[in-house]
Amino acid sequence: MRCLIAFLILASCGSAADVPTKKITPGQVILPTDRMKRIWGELVSLDLKTRTGVFRDEGTETLMPFTVLPYAELLHHATFGDLQDFRIGERAIFRLHENEKGQWVWLTYIQDEMNFLYGHKEFFWVEKIDPATGRIEFTQANADKSFVRQKGLTLETDAVTRYWKAGQAAKCADIQVGDRLQTQTHGVGKGRTRMCRHVFLDDASLLKFQKEQKLVHEKRMAEEGLPGYVDSHADKAIQMTLFQESREAGQRLKAGQKVRVAAAGVDRKAAVESQTGTLTAIKAAGNLFKLTVTLDALPNAELTPLAVARLWLIP
């Protein structure tokens, strides 16, 4: 029996060792979920050209530099966005991973508070309102309060806070004890202060913002191209993996469509003239899409494996 137990333990350890640890790998869409940090923080700086920035960890007051990976999920106004949508001071969750030196700087998503509340179906249930200061005390919980995340929290408002009800402008006086709110907030340079930019008094108002953001993102994708990695190429055929933000547009792609493809720079903008071709195969792979594009000519030197590229449909 002891021998059997020892064998089972060794077998179990061997099986665990056989499972490789996920690591960030250039040219591949990889999320090392077994090694990540998700930190609430306040955006301090952002460089759109280098896709780098700094945020302040609300828990430790540490300034955290980061580099945004090409396939990072940038979740703004409860849907996909881009770096340019985020304003300095904005509160969000920053998901970090280790680089090759063991530094926690690779970023694979920024999720603003509005997206967090919408995705988790949670609300700020109003417990008390101070009309003089605009301070709102609340409990964070789901729709029927069967799950309570935390009690005794506070929202701060100021003269520039905007309120929304039924998709229209409202005011702080429209909020009553017992109401459920969702917000978009920013920090104040220290601590964990929820200073409201927008307060949504109902679902319709948040969904209006979400719809507007989706239209902005769709227009941006049409103009700048669907982003993805070049996986490989052989003769005139290139294989691509579209990033998750291209999911809705990817669902409309069909074999036989004419397309344009161009390599992109560090800022993910097209860096060279695009090449025309035909989309010859498309396959869903979870939230991603795998494509085969047969170009009309041999791919230029920039369209190499591991490169970021943009793809456009030709009307």
The answer to whether 81 and 75 have CB atoms below 8 angstroms apart is: yes
| Distance in angstroms (rounded) separating the CA atoms of residues 73 and 52 | 15
Q: At what angle do helices 203-224 and 113-120 cross, to 10 degrees?
A: 110
Query: Which range among 13-27, 143-157, 241-255 shows the weakest confidence by mean pLDDT?
Result: 13-27
Q: What is the pLDDT of residues 134-180, one digit of tens each?
A: 999 999 999 999 999 999 999 999 999 999 999 999 999 999 999 99
Assign domain 225-313 one CATH number from 2.40.30.230, 3.20.20.70, 3.40.430.10, 3.40.50.150: 2.40.30.230
The confidence score (pLDDT) of residue 19 equals 60
Return phi, psi of residue 160, to 5°.
Answer: -100, 0
- Burial of residue 307, with CB atoms counted within 10 A of its CB: 0-12 exposed, 13-18 middle, 19 or more buried: buried
Q: What is the pLDDT of residues 261-315, one digit of tens each?
A: 999 999 999 999 999 999 999 999 999 999 999 999 999 999 999 999 999 999 8
The CA–CA distances, whole Å, from 179 to 127, 128, 148, 200, 201 equal: 8, 10, 15, 11, 7
| Residue among 171, 263, 237, 165 at smallest CA distance from 208 | 165
| Mean pLDDT, residues 69-95 taken together | 96
When pLDDT is cut at 50, 70 and 90, the band that residue 21 belongs to is confident
| Paired tokens of 151 | 């009690």
The confidence score (pLDDT) of residue 22 equals 85
Domain residue ranges in the chain: 26-214, 225-313
Q: What is 26-214's CATH number?
A: 2.40.50.320
